[in-house]
Amino acid sequence: MTDSGQAAARTLRVGMVGHGFMGAAHSHAWRNAHRFFELPATPQLTAVAGRDAQRVAEAAERQGWLSTETDWRRLVERDDIDLIDICTPGDTHREIALAALEAGKHVLCEKPLANTVAEAEEMADAARRASERGQIAMCGFTYRRVPAVSLARRFVDEGRLGEIRHVRAQYLQDWLSDANAPLTWRLDKSRAGSGSLGDIGAHIIDMAQWVAGSRIEGLSAVLRTFVTERPVGGEFVGLGGAGSADGPKGPVSVDDAAAFTARFAGGALGVFEATRFALGRKNSLRLEVNGSLGSVAFDFEDMNSLQYYDGADDAEAQGFRRIIVTEAVHPYTGNWWPSGHGLGYEHSFTHQVADLVRAIGAGAQPHPSFDDALQVQRVLAAVEASAADRAAWHEVQG
Amino acid sequence: MTDSGQAAARTLRVGMVGHGFMGAAHSHAWRNAHRFFELPATPQLTAVAGRDAQRVAEAAERQGWLSTETDWRRLVERDDIDLIDICTPGDTHREIALAALEAGKHVLCEKPLANTVAEAEEMADAARRASERGQIAMCGFTYRRVPAVSLARRFVDEGRLGEIRHVRAQYLQDWLSDANAPLTWRLDKSRAGSGSLGDIGAHIIDMAQWVAGSRIEGLSAVLRTFVTERPVGGEFVGLGGAGSADGPKGPVSVDDAAAFTARFAGGALGVFEATRFALGRKNSLRLEVNGSLGSVAFDFEDMNSLQYYDGADDAEAQGFRRIIVTEAVHPYTGNWWPSGHGLGYEHSFTHQVADLVRAIGAGAQPHPSFDDALQVQRVLAAVEASAADRAAWHEVQG
Amino acid sequence: MTDSGQAAARTLRVGMVGHGFMGAAHSHAWRNAHRFFELPATPQLTAVAGRDAQRVAEAAERQGWLSTETDWRRLVERDDIDLIDICTPGDTHREIALAALEAGKHVLCEKPLANTVAEAEEMADAARRASERGQIAMCGFTYRRVPAVSLARRFVDEGRLGEIRHVRAQYLQDWLSDANAPLTWRLDKSRAGSGSLGDIGAHIIDMAQWVAGSRIEGLSAVLRTFVTERPVGGEFVGLGGAGSADGPKGPVSVDDAAAFTARFAGGALGVFEATRFALGRKNSLRLEVNGSLGSVAFDFEDMNSLQYYDGADDAEAQGFRRIIVTEAVHPYTGNWWPSGHGLGYEHSFTHQVADLVRAIGAGAQPHPSFDDALQVQRVLAAVEASAADRAAWHEVQG
Amino acid sequence: MTDSGQAAARTLRVGMVGHGFMGAAHSHAWRNAHRFFELPATPQLTAVAGRDAQRVAEAAERQGWLSTETDWRRLVERDDIDLIDICTPGDTHREIALAALEAGKHVLCEKPLANTVAEAEEMADAARRASERGQIAMCGFTYRRVPAVSLARRFVDEGRLGEIRHVRAQYLQDWLSDANAPLTWRLDKSRAGSGSLGDIGAHIIDMAQWVAGSRIEGLSAVLRTFVTERPVGGEFVGLGGAGSADGPKGPVSVDDAAAFTARFAGGALGVFEATRFALGRKNSLRLEVNGSLGSVAFDFEDMNSLQYYDGADDAEAQGFRRIIVTEAVHPYTGNWWPSGHGLGYEHSFTHQVADLVRAIGAGAQPHPSFDDALQVQRVLAAVEASAADRAAWHEVQG
């Protein structure tokens, strides 16, 4: 923390940039983490920044922030802020993060870390330098902290899976399946960087590598845009919304779907698919890992369970176990409710805050670091490079 | 509200009695409901009461309560409290609720409403009288407010199920399956009133009647205690815990399991089962309702979905639909996250607070009322009477 | 076998009475069992009996029977028949079985064994006497021989479940859910004996007792008829069919649904439900058994799998396993296809034939015997007695 | 048929080459199809050919074939054979099929049609010429005839899915997961042609194209061999078996796993994966198709159901339906048992025989033709070409 007083040492003063969907999820986590987890410092929702004064004031009121700024630069300059939490679109991450690190703040940055590898490299470099000054930087790949996903990683660490042969990961949504869903910033390459690839593909890339404990070293990819223009000016409802089929249209400049095969450093064969056109799949983030000794499978549509197959079970009694990941022995869940009481989407943000605050207290780097996130960015870049090169195999750089 | 000032009118000052598992869940709801739901008043966590000064102070700190009391009577007397939230074991509900209603407070009382019908009747009478003075009383059958359960009720209201023929409900837990799990207050009839029957059986009775829109009018029941004595003095861990097989033991004075067949007023045949001995079932609260036109099925182990069968679907395409109950059109979920992002156990408590605060604002009785909860108590009494009478059919009184 | 010649000793000459749904299933089994199982004798489909000469001739042609009879008495008298297979409605079982046993034939009788306990007792007595003459009698509770159900029983035998506390069994169908489904013999008490109780309830009673390895000793029951009269003369389509809402109607004289709670000799609490009104459930025969060490669960709608929970698994890795019961180590399945290739409904009939022919070859009584089936009949009688006596507890006689 | 007499016209005389796993499945279908389906001719199991006289005699006895041959050429020459059924490894298909077609026989050939495109082209040419002489040739992609898969295709034909955007198909097995599983002919490229690709990948390629009603026109692929040498001389048990870790080893010359992304002619994005190393997946053949109006999903591990999502359902009631594909209105199932009684693996072979015999009777080409199978072979070749070319995009030839 930037302040060394003992009282202040027991408070972590947070400034958040952006207050949309991610801002709400982060706010909830900052407000509640210390209610369920023993933390070395209590987060204070010190200030939130947004460009529109009225909207940021409403968000502050709604989400419990003590003050507001209409310029993120002002937020970064404030002395009473220990940590900057970046919840804006990807095209702004680099500038904010660099300024915050320069200002001596800890940083939590939403994923993807940036829209390009060059930006991400600059950010990771800055984070590495800041680390030497005791600052912590972390990227918000929250699905790692869904208890069932954390348990999958623990099983890999424990050797329960043996040598990993297969990793298959899918992130299936359907909110663009309607060809008249409106054009939003998420479909604009200059804002979002990419489409399904960076938005949801990044999640499964990070999650798969983390659970498998191994990085993707090469891949062959295709990108696809099914609907090339969409209504503009339509009201945005949730992630989807309803546009007008008759009004003016604008170009979709990102991918609707991405798919690639990959090779992990450990030798595993990966198959990845991310799409917003899988009609009926609302948020189906799936991961299956098959090893020589065991397998795990996860689907976010049943997020409180993990499928696990133990090849050492008696032959007559082998089968995938549906582990209800709500027990005191499971990651994170003992801090919440008694056995069998499931968690929801936003809990992984609370876990992220808990781990981050503890890491700050301990002066240790939490995962995922900016370097981890940079590597994901490199995988995204390799996907785009391969897709632009007739799907030919591309090594992941770095 | 007891205070008529405009500022106060926009705050609902809450005093909570008890701060265990239920206290934590309620606190979370009081802290967060207004962050996600538009409410006519913002809850203030004014004071929490508990007998042990140190433990209540720790709970207040942890859960965000502004002050503490070591005697619930003092809490009830305070002028700066608008609502008393009762989170203590069932044997104390009557006395606290009566005093709170007498003192002009709104009341939220955990389920079961009381340990006996006589107590519940007294409480319901008091609530009815208080209602005439503008006070609201509500009982905490929170499973009604799991979105999938609320959706099931909506489907019944919309006529999607037609004439209801079957209701089958199970609440299966396993935390007493180990014969050496220790003796806790939940196994002491003088404290808990009953065992699985009142603890979890009450939940499925209330939920089934509410979803079906019809009350149980008669039943035939059995109760069973599989393990008649258990270790005393064992450390309590979660709901279960580990006792010592070799130490002293004390008698279990409640049922381990309850099962009954029932007739609903509308003619449906009910089959109910509640147990803490269903090894492997952590918190499997299941409900299935079959009507002449459609069916619904729910399992809390997959709480963000509802199974629905529409008998009017094309013959070749009929099947139970797994509705992921996370869309903006579904009950409560539009206030949380975008499509496909599931909720957890504690969200139903937040929904309960939202509905209660809105009802207080509107001066209207929310469900379930103390009368609703009294009726559940009468079903519980009929279960015990039938079980004591060779399972012979008993009408539900009242 | 009745014939002692060596050649004949290698053939088992079968005469079947009845050629409807069950007749087709039995014929398939007689034709194919020796293709997949090593048998001491090869079944010969010697003759089939039916009242209508043309229909029985067509059935013989279709199902591969070498000759026909229009009077079952003639079939029983034939010297070239070793075994009588009874596939007619329950009201005819007693007379045919007694005659067949008297004539020195082995007997396979469809379930339920009879329509009354008195009939079943007479049949079991005769079977016991015939047993002394080397004749075998078996009742067709085929669900025991679904591999997953056989595996469940094996797990109980191996002690994997420990002390059994809960047995819950449901048999849910929906073919009477439409109030205009026509009146058939299955709804006529004089023909069928009872409704859902004897038709499908008998199956779950037998299966539950067999898997649990323990008999029901007392119970409390309700029976319900939702639709009391139905169109007559409607064309029968499958089990359901479509009647006319406007034509003449006749009375339904059997139960539409049956439910009861029970106590097993070993102390387990049973909950049973059988119905033809569970809209959307086509043939959902479900069984769950919870013991002190493990649990199993089965649903015929996913018939090639068994759910199994092992309480001794590592705490972090406990969960119900979905065992795909298609491996060489599983009951019966090694005789069919390689790993992972599921079986269907009729395979349990083939297993029944295989076990029966082997038992005849070995001169040993296969399960279920007529005594086993008589005991099921006594449970059915207790259900009817309790239901007629305000659901009061009734002991199972015998 | 080759014989024009009326009596012979009512019999289809079959000669089968090979009598292993596939031979057993085909035999069962030939024996039983006319018992459940109305056919224009009754199959006769006239003769079976195998190289070892004793083994083929045993197989004939076991499976019900009337005579045997030890040279398939002799079988093809016999005048009393109307159809040659080829159940041998892929390296023999071409020679047998060409001879059979030349001899005027109808031909049913197991998949894959051949081991190379050149062979398959020769076979398809011969089949086309034979077709002009009234001969029928069909390839055994039996998974098309699993009722749930046939229903998926029907849904596509009915327009229920709209424009198809995604096809994802997986065929996951685990019988090579053990590095000591023995070397069998299936791992020898000269016999099997390829590994998982041709054995199980061919199935999902054919099924996906057929269900989607669209062909793969280009793809990018990877192949992987995880275990490059295995014990020789080990006893073969089922598909897997147990070799010795200490004995001599031989090289695995085929792929253990194959994965590719693809473009369908209609524009859909395909993702395919086939492997024998997915520990815990016994025979998990999965297909999901997402269209603009609806989606379907299938998993052979639950083969009697089809998941179907109808985008036109009411917003609050949308969800994947689990259709139990056992009703009279579903493909094939009305010929078997009443509602809710599931089928097994071998039934699709019976359906194949039924469709083939009807097609022969009608003089019409059944699907899949040798041309259909040739196209699958071209996809397999494109997979191998792409995999050998750094996964670069390859068009499917032809």
Do B260 and C257 count as a contact with CB atoms less than 8 A apart? no
Residue of chain C minimizing CA distance to A323:
C319
* Cβ–Cβ < 8 Å for D223, D208: no
Calculate the average pLDDT of chain C.
Answer: 94
Each residue's pLDDT tens digit, B279-316: 999 999 999 999 999 999 999 999 999 999 999 999 99
Q: Give the mean model confidence (pLDDT) for residues C89-118.
A: 96
C-beta atoms of D324 and C301 within 8 A? yes
Question: Three-class SS of residue D21?
Answer: helix
**Nearest by CB: C165 against B226, B294, B392:** B226
Q: In the CATH scheme, what is the homologous superfamily, with its name and number, of domain A147-302+304-343+375-387?
A: Dihydrodipicolinate Reductase; domain 2 (3.30.360.10)
Interface test with D, best of B298, B316, B332 (most D CBs within 10 A): B316
CB neighbours of residue C363 within 10 Å = 10
For residue A6, pLDDT beyond 70: no
Closest by CA to C313, choosing from B334, B259, D51, A308, is A308
* Residue C8 clears pLDDT 60, i.e. is over it: no
If one counts every other C-beta atom within 10 angstroms of the C-beta of residue B143, the result is: 24
CATH architecture of C6-142: 3-Layer(aba) Sandwich (3.40)
Are D354 and D41 within 8 A, CB to CB? no
Asked whether residue D214 carries a pLDDT value surpassing 60, the answer given is yes
Buried b (16+ CB within 10 A) or exposed e, A196-225: bbbbbbbbbbbbbbbbbebbbbbbbbbbbb
pLDDT at C242: 52
With bands split at pLDDT 50, 70 and 90, how would you rate the model's confidence at C237? Answer: very low
What is the helix (H) or strand (E) element at residue D235, kind and residue range? none
User: Residue D256: closest CA among chain A residues belongs to which residue?
Assistant: A165
**Distance, CA of D306 to CA of D152 (rounded, Å):** 7
In a mutational test of the D interface, the residue from B153, B298, B307, B321 whose CB has the highest number of chain D CBs within 10 Å is B321
List the beta bridge partners of residue D268: none
Residue of D nearest to B155 (CA): D317
Q: What is the mean pLDDT of residues C303-330?
A: 97
Nearest beta carbon to residue D28 from set C35, C63, C338: C35
* Cβ-defined contact of A317 to C155 (cutoff 8 Å): yes
Q: Which of D261, D278, D292 sits opposite A177 (nearest CB)?
A: D292
Per-domain residue ranges of chain D: 6-142, 147-302+304-343+375-387
Checking if the pLDDT of C102 tops 60, the result is yes
Identity of the amino acid at C303: M
Q: What global pTM score does this model have?
A: 0.95
CB contact under 8 A, A321 and C318: yes
Q: Where is D326: in which H helix or E strand?
A: none
Contact C35 D31 (CB under 8 A): yes
Size of interface B-C (CB pairs under 8 A): 132
Of C220, C275, C279, the CB nearest to B222: C220
pLDDT tens per residue, range B149-206: 999 999 999 999 999 999 999 999 999 999 999 998 889 998 888 999 999 999 999 9
What chain D residue is nearest to A321 in terms of C-alpha separation?
Answer: D280
HEC assignment per residue over chain A: CCCCCHHHHCEEEEEEECCCHHHHHHHHHHHHHHHHCCCCCEEEEEEEECCCHHHHHHHHHHHCCCEEECCHHHHHHCCCCCEEEECCCHHHHHHHHHHHHHCCCEEEECCCCCCCHHHHHHHHHHHHHHHHCCCCEEECCHHHHCHHHHHHHHHHHCCCCCCEEEEEEEEECCCCCCCCCCCCHHHCHHHHCCCHHHHHHHHHHHHHHHHHCCCEEEEEEEEECCCCEEECCCECCCCCCECCCCCCEEECCCCCEEEEEEEECCCCEEEEEEECCCCCCCCEEEEEEEECCEEEEEEHHHCCEEEEEECCCCHHHCCEEEEECCCCCCCCHHHCCCCCCCCCCCHHHHHHHHHHHHHHHHCCCCCCCHHHHHHHHHHHHHHHHHHCCCCCCEECCC
For A316, the token pair is 């007559």
* Mean per-residue pLDDT of chain D: 94
Partner residues linked to B14 by β-bridges: B45, B83
What angle (nearest 5°) sits at the alpha carbon of residue B150, between those of residues B162 and B258? Answer: 85
Instruction: Name the helix (H) or strand (E) containing C339.
Output: none
Give the per-residue pLDDT at C9.
57
Q: Chain A: nearest CA to D195, how far in angstroms?
A: 16
pLDDT of residue C7: 45
- Given a contact as 3+ CB pairs under 8 Å, which chains touch B? A, C, D
- Segment C17-29 shows an average pLDDT of 97
Q: Which helix (H) or strand (E) holds B111?
A: none
For residue C309, give the chain A residue with the closest CA.
A321
Q: Please indicate whether, in this complex, the C-beta atoms of A221 and D257 are within 8 angstroms of each other.
A: no
Chain C contact set for B309 (CB, 8 A): 279-280
Whole-number pLDDT of residue C4: 41
pLDDT digits (tens, 9 = 90+) for A292-311: 999 999 999 999 999 999 99
pLDDT confidence band for A185 (50 / 70 / 90): confident
Confidence at D185, pLDDT banded by 50, 70, 90 = confident
D391 vs chain A: nearest CA distance in angstroms?
5
pLDDT digits (tens, 9 = 90+) for D223-238: 999 999 999 875 444 4
Contacts of D304 (CB under 8 A, 6+ apart): C301, C303, C344, D147, D148, D324, D325, D326, D342, D343
Instruction: Give the gap in angstroms from C-alpha B117 to the nearest C-alpha of chain C.
Output: 24
Average pLDDT of the segment spanning D29-51: 97
- pLDDT score for C203: 97
User: What does DSSP assign to residue C239?
Assistant: T
Q: What is the pLDDT of residues B205-219, one digit of tens each?
A: 999 999 999 999 999
Q: Average pLDDT in the C276-297 region?
A: 97
Residues C196 and A267: their CA atoms lie apart, in Å, by: 57
Kindly provide the ipTM of the predicted complex, given to two decimals.
0.94
SS3 D306: strand
When pLDDT is averaged across residues B122-148 and rounded to a whole number, the result is 98
Q: If you average pLDDT over residues A226-245, what whole number do you get?
A: 66
A241: confidence class by pLDDT, cuts 50, 70, 90: very low
Q: How far apart are CA A273 and CA A260, in angstroms?
A: 7
Do B316 and D160 make contact, defined as CB atoms within 8 angstroms?
no
Number of H helices, E strands in chain C: 12, 17
Q: Who's near A190: CB < 8 A, 6+ residues apart? A: A91, A253
Annotate C112-138 with DSSP letters as a single string: SS-SSHHHHHHHHHHHHHHHHTT--EE
Tell me how far CA of residue B386 lies from CA of A146, B200, B271, C220, in angstroms. Answer: 45, 19, 15, 11
Q: How many distinct helices (H) and strands (E) make up chain B?
A: 12, 17
How far is the alpha carbon of A382 from chain B, nearest alpha carbon, in Å? 29
pLDDT at B234: 54
Over the stretch A372-384, which tens digit does the pLDDT of each residue have? 999 999 999 999 9
Chain A nearest CA to C329, separation (Å): 6
Partners of B224 on chain C (C-beta within 8 Å) are 269
Average pLDDT, chain B: 94
- Could you tell me which of C68, C114, C67, C112 has the C-alpha nearest to residue C95? C114
| Residue C192 confidence (pLDDT) | 87
Rounded Cα gap, residues C123 and C137, in angstroms:
10
Query: What burial letters (b/e) apply to D37-61, b meaning 16+ CB within 10 Å?
Result: bebebebbbbbbbbeeeeebbebbe
What does the alpha-carbon distance between residue D225 and residue D260 come to, in Å, rounded to a whole number? 15
In tens, the pLDDT along B313-346 reads 999 999 999 999 999 999 999 999 999 999 999 9
Q: pLDDT tens digits for C381-392? A: 999 999 999 999
Interface test with C, best of D324, D332, D335, D348 (most C CBs within 10 A): D324
Instruction: State the Cα–Cα distance between residues D42 and D33, nearest whole angstrom.
Output: 8
d(CA A154, CA D203): 36
At D243 the pLDDT is 54
